[in-house]
Chains A and B, each alone.
Chain A
């Protein structure tokens, strides 16, 4: 349950949402990724409020969001490379270039050697890395990663930090969530902005960016392709809520 959360993430920015289990992190990320709809409030992505879109339009939003969550849902009967390529296929990437991009994404999480292996033969840790590579592939305009370092070893956790930072450096808006303070610290050290979430509310530091931003209405008019923001669940008066604007 989210309560009055207003959060903006712009292109080239890395935001880490930290909170204890059941604090609403996963819900917030699901809403941001278009996997769930808020009962009230707005979810702005590329100048559109996705919360008010018709269901038939949601796939066209989701395909521009790289989403990773604990389920790491993959197609077992396909190879790791095929799984990563499928995200690019949905986005309309040409078949001729998708393979190289997918291998790049696997290389970003040092899993290139898994490319031709069937997912069914991978360990749970390897599956998580492949799922993360799929979310990173492209990279997408918005990358949403829920506990991407959970159940991974130290090396892999550091690798995930660098992979997210790399996606950010490529211009993606990166939103990650974790209950692990040490890992959140590592993301902050890599240039990330920390948000603390407790019982569905943002506490401590302001959820919005430090840079002055236009209003939501202005952001919508700007149609900035990389900007995204969430207001939920009581989302009062979003027209007055500030948000960050991404590069055009």
Chain B
């Protein structure tokens, strides 16, 4: 059977089973959405991690005898520590102003902190940590070291909130992963169902062609080719859906979560889409090819 006949066979099978081809395309579209969604989701979580990292800091309260010059000196030294992104000296008046800002929404008459004097607040260092995966541990380590430093009276590692935030990120990541795995299983199950339901017709065709003297490879190739084509179509549709819908979806989600990431989301690159489609096509080719059952070879007379 030459290429023209194989192409004709592919066309005939597609015409004979349009719903099977459509279902196969949809299943591969779902697989593409799962794979692409996982890739984009991983990037989104990394961006959110950076956002969390930008907002993580420790507060080191300084002794009363530490003047501004010495505080600046300490800030300079701490700024050279690898885990530290930025160190800011907070003057007592600044600390009071911040506290007032924070308390304002909760005070009915706006005078809740009227009795407080700036001198009540010690000079402090606000240490922002560099973004990293193990921020809680880093913050705890740094706090431990600072507590023994001269001129530092107390350190608030502020890790409780951070730990809670990171737990939520982990929960979100696990939830996303579970949803993706479930969708992936649905897609695989759909593909298996399609192939099992179509197996009878495919087996009959294979038996006829075997009886006519067709080689196993030529019998299986048309099924492999149409499945590969369906995988390409479904995968292409999936990539298009992600290209159009991912950024608006992510934007809305970040808006609801109150996340303001410093970098814009990165879409799937051309080579990622091309390699993903190639992988789906190869998967389709292999599935269609090997799912074609060949009749058992002849018995002895």
Contacts and interface: CB of A to CB of B under 8 A. Distances in A.
A183 interface: no
B215 A77 contact: no
Contact of A95 (B8, B211, B215): B8
A62 B211 CA distance: 7
Contact of A36 (B208, B213, B214, B299): B299
A58 B211 CA distance: 10
A35 B298 contact: yes
Contacts of B1: 89-90, 92
A67 B211 contact: yes
B201 A77 contact: yes
A129 interface: no
Contacts of A82: 12
A27 interface: yes
Given A36-B299, A78-B12, A78-B16, A62 B213 contact: yes
Interface string B280-300: 000000000000000001111
B205 A75 contact: yes
Interface size class of B (residues with CB under 8 A): 20 to 34
A58 B294 CA distance: 14
B153 interface: no
A233 B301 contact: yes
B301 A86 contact: no
A221 interface: no
Interface string B1-19: 1101100100010001100
Interface residues of A, number: 40
Interface SS, A side? mixed
A39 interface: yes
B213 A31 contact: no
A141 to B, nearest CB: 12
Nearest to A96: B4
Given A77-B201, A95-B4, A39 B214 contact: no
Contact of B204 (A36, A76, A90): A76
A91 to B, nearest CB: 8
Contact of A59 (B2, B5, B213): B213
A63 interface: yes
B301 A232 contact: yes
Interface in A89-137: 89-92, 95, 134
B210 interface: yes
B204 A63 contact: no
B300 A37 contact: yes
Those 7 A-B pairs whose CB atoms lie nearest each other, nearest first: A63-B213, A62-B213, A77-B16, A89-B5, A36-B298, A36-B301, A59-B213
16 contacts: A36-B300, A38-B300, A39-B300, A39-B301, A59-B215, A62-B212, A63-B214, A65-B213, A67-B211, A73-B207, A74-B208, A76-B204, A78-B12, A83-B208, A89-B8, A90-B209
